[in-house]
Structure 1
Amino acid sequence: MTVRNGKRWNHNIHYHPRILRAVPDGAQRALDVGCGEGMLARELRQAVPHVTGIDLDALSIDQAREYPDDVGYILGDFLTHPFESASFDVIASVATLHHMDAAAGLARMRDLLCPGGVLAIVGLARSAMPDDLPRDLAGVVAGTFHRATKGHWEHPSPTVWPPPVTYPQMRALAAEILPGSEYRRHLLLRYSIIWRKPRD
């Protein structure tokens, strides 16, 4: 593991600012789904008074709880944990949906979000070859540059590869479950979904 200038970088962290920019003004409660060792949850806490992180990996949650912050961490399954419906102003998730049934995960996030709240996701999907080859090669080149200039932090959480859902399938799921959501595919082999839950 190489981290330069005391800063962490990897493909997921690179897109944290997209999540943080989506936090709505006045948000009081945030949920980080698949929080790992809590880096995004701690960043969310700088903007939101009450932040909860949930993850199935015990080692990651133990590491998250070692930090001196007031984020609440839950060791458990996001899909089944008894959260109250419509109880969060912002729900964030980075590199987590491919660890679960994506449709079930999106629906659960939708249901836990308060009216007017924002869902912000950065995820991984499976490339479709040969169509995605040029885009993927560009992403590899860009990722190599970032690694060379910023170092690379290897997260301690379990990995799932390859992702079970393709990029077009994820776009279709977002359109179906989160009508009006903004889906974007990014250079560094990630996609993002931003959705504001209607108030009516």
Structure 2
Amino acid sequence: MSVRSGRRWNHNIHYHSRILGAVPDGAKRALDVGCGEGMLARELRQAVPYVTGIDLHEPSIGQARAYPGDIDYIVGDFLTHPFEPGSFDVVASVATLHHMDAADGLARMSELLRPGGVLAVVGLARSELPGDLPRDLAGIVVGQVHRAFKGLWKQTSPTVWPPPVTYRQMRALSAEMLPGSQYRRHLLLRYSVIWRKPREHGASAG
């Protein structure tokens, strides 16, 4: 943890604001996929009354449960856990989608969203060289500056490297599976996808 800021920092935490800024007004239920030790889930709980975090890594869930708060933490695989379809207003995920087949992950997230709900993903993808090299070098330099001032918090959850899908492939997949989604590639070696699930035809706008 950074002594100067008093707040944890790493490349994933840096983009939590992308998730939190996408939470729709009036959201009541949120799911944090691959929640780890629960930092994003706790932040979501500031805006959403009912938050569930799910992760396959039992030690991380144990750490999450050690924090005070009324968040429901589950050890399990969100692809197969018996959540009811359409039961969440927000489905969020940070640095998790590359641990699974990306198409399967996006399809399941979409299924769990109610009509009008928001999917918000921050993820890692693989660079393509030499074309991505200038952007990657810039990201490394800026990341080092952040680290010098804020420190670097290292997560204890399992990691996967390299990511199986490239940024270009992730952008194309998002456009195909989530029409109208907002894909953005970020400087600090991350991308984000924000998507609002269309309301059912003929449904009330309320």
Shorter chain as denominator, the TM-score bin is: over 0.9
Query: What stretches of structure 1 move > 6 A for 4+ residues in a row?
Result: none
In structure 2, the residue matched to 1:116 is 116
1:63-74 superposed matches below 5 A: 63-74=63-74
Identical-residue share of aligned pairs (%): 78
Write the distance in 2 (CA, Å) between the matches of 1:17 and 1:125: 19
Counterpart of 2:194 in structure 1: which amino acid?
I
Residue 152 of structure 1: SS of its match in structure 2? Answer: coil
Residue equivalent to 2:33: 33
RMSD: 0.6
1:9 counterpart residue number: 9
Residue number in structure 1 paired with 2:136: 136
Matched position secondary structure for 2:15: helix
Q: Residue 6 of structure 1: CA displacement? A: 2.0
Q: Give the superposition deviation at 1:128.
A: 0.3
Give the CA deviation at 1:3. 2.3
TM-score w.r.t. the length of structure 2 is: 0.96
Moved more, 173-182 or 2-11: 2-11
Aligned to 1:104: 104
Structure 2 gap ranges (5+): 201-206
Counterparts of residues 184-195 of structure 1 (less than 5 Å): 184-195=184-195
The separation in 1 between residues aligned to 2:24 and 2:7, in whole angstroms, is 26
SS in 1 for 2:11: coil
Using structure 1 for the length normalisation, give the TM-score: 0.98
Alignment of structure 1 residues 148-167 onto 2, 5 Å: 148-167=148-167
Residue type of the alignment partner of 1:160: V
Report Cα offsets for 1:5-29 as digits up to 9, x if no partner. Answer: 3210000000001110000000000
Gaps of 5+ in 1: none
What CA distance in whole angstroms lies between the structure 2 residues aligned with 1:93 and 1:16? 10
